[in-house]
Amino acid sequence: MSGVLLETRNLRVHAGPLEVVRQVDLVLHAGETLGVIGESGSGKTVTCLALLRLLPDGLAAAADAMVWRGTELGGLSDHDFRPYRGRQMAMVFQDPVGSFNPAKRIGWHLRTALQRRGSRDAWRPRAAALLADVGIPRPDAVLERYPHQLSGGMLQRALIAMIVALEPGLIIADEPTTNLDNIVEQQILALFRQLQTRLSAGFIFITHDIGIAAQISDRLMVMYAGEVVETGPAAAIMAAPRHPYTRGLMATAHALASRVETLAEIPGQLPLPGARPTGCVFRPRCAFARPGCEAPQPLRTIAPGREMRCLLND
């Protein structure tokens, strides 16, 4: 790993008076992959959309600091931030269909990406090479096709090729295998691992599947109800999860892998932003809740490089 690419301090996202995401401190190094895991609604995608200023209407982000390669970005206007999005930071979305203009061919999309990066060479050989690099057969023919003529797996690969064409320093992948079958899922994961070795970019990989996160990540950041509850090296967390929520995710993943008749589940439901409990937000679902959990819990260092938002370490 090289130097720090991205650092945020106290990143938060609001929907009017409600805090959707709060107190997110994030550090990402060049060449590193950070896996962001948690149930649907835990704040994973919203956090990463805030990094790229792609939040939908009604949501607004703020942070005490957001530093990209040593430059503070928080004070930039949307106009001044725009050159960073795409060329410096890019996102592979869960559903690739929305990333393509349905009226334009795949070749047009790749040509546009290459031109945005400033390439003045003949675009077609480079575009075909990019498609071939992500495992698309007959790339010259695919350049002539429209997005609806490709399968979900092929379209996801084409989107990844567009991202690689931009040569960003940060690539965020938002559950890029969710709508794919198991074979294609493993192919896409293998592609990301290849990109890890080829590119010096930092990766953020969003998933609700802790098993997938373990395959692809150097470090993990576990989120629950808009908060980070545990962080640390992926191998260490997989070997010994500490936060009760992380333990619950692990138990469910093991049950799915072993195909048991009774699935291990975390009881209860994820709270809505306007109905968060006081103190530890996981307390109503936690089997280890005890006196003291009614107070807000800060992230505590529990081992070198590991933090947890829980009293259990006491």
Q: Please give the Cα distance from 58 to 1 (Å, whole number).
A: 37
Q: Please give the Cα distance from 2 to 66 (Å, whole number).
A: 19
Q: What is the mean pLDDT of residues 124-131?
A: 93
pLDDT at residue 60, as a whole number: 96
The pairing of beta strand 33-37 with beta strand 60-62? unpaired
Looking at residue 4, the DSSP 8-state letter turns out to be: E
pLDDT at residue 260, as a whole number: 52
- Quote the pTM value: 0.90
Q: CB of 119 within 8 A of CB of 131?
A: no
137-186 tens-digit pLDDT: 999 999 999 999 999 889 989 999 998 888 899 999 998 887 777 888 88
Q: Is pLDDT above 90 for 229?
A: yes
Q: Is pLDDT above 80 for 213?
A: yes
60-92 tens-digit pLDDT: 999 999 999 999 999 999 999 999 998 899 999
- φ, ψ of residue 85 to 5 degrees: the values are -80, 120
Q: Please give the Cα distance from 165 to 86 (Å, whole number).
A: 10
Domains of the chain (ranges, CATH numbers): 4-88+169-187+199-308 (3.40.50.300), 98-167 (no CATH)
Q: What is the mean pLDDT of residues 289-308?
A: 92
Q: CB of 7 within 8 A of CB of 188?
A: no
CA distances (Å), 47 to each of 19, 31, 137, 197, in order? Answer: 12, 21, 35, 26
Place of tokens 């990463």: 48
pLDDT at residue 46, as a whole number: 96
Q: CB of 205 within 8 A of CB of 19?
A: no
Q: Please give the Cα distance from 178 to 173 (Å, whole number).
A: 11
- What share of the chain has pLDDT > 90, as a percent? 61
Residue 234 token pair: 């992926």
230: Cβ contacts below 8 Å, ≥ 6 apart: 220, 221, 222, 237, 241, 242, 243, 245, 246, 306, 307, 308, 309, 310
pLDDT at residue 132, as a whole number: 92
Q: Is pLDDT above 70 for 307?
A: yes
pLDDT at residue 49, as a whole number: 96
Nearest to 13 by CA among 45, 60, 82: 60
Q: Please give the Cα distance from 238 to 308 (Å, whole number).
A: 14
pLDDT, the chain, mean: 89
255-296 tens-digit pLDDT: 666 665 554 678 888 998 888 888 999 999 999 999 999 998
Torsion sign over Cα 29, 35, 38, 39: positive
Looking at residue 240, the DSSP 8-state letter turns out to be: S
pLDDT at residue 234, as a whole number: 95
33-54 tens-digit pLDDT: 999 999 999 999 999 999 999 9
In this structure, the dihedral spanned by the alpha carbons of residues 121, 123, 125 and 129, taken in order and rounded to 10 degrees, is 110
pLDDT band at 10 (very low <50, low <70, confident <90, very high): very high
Q: CB of 9 within 8 A of CB of 24?
A: no
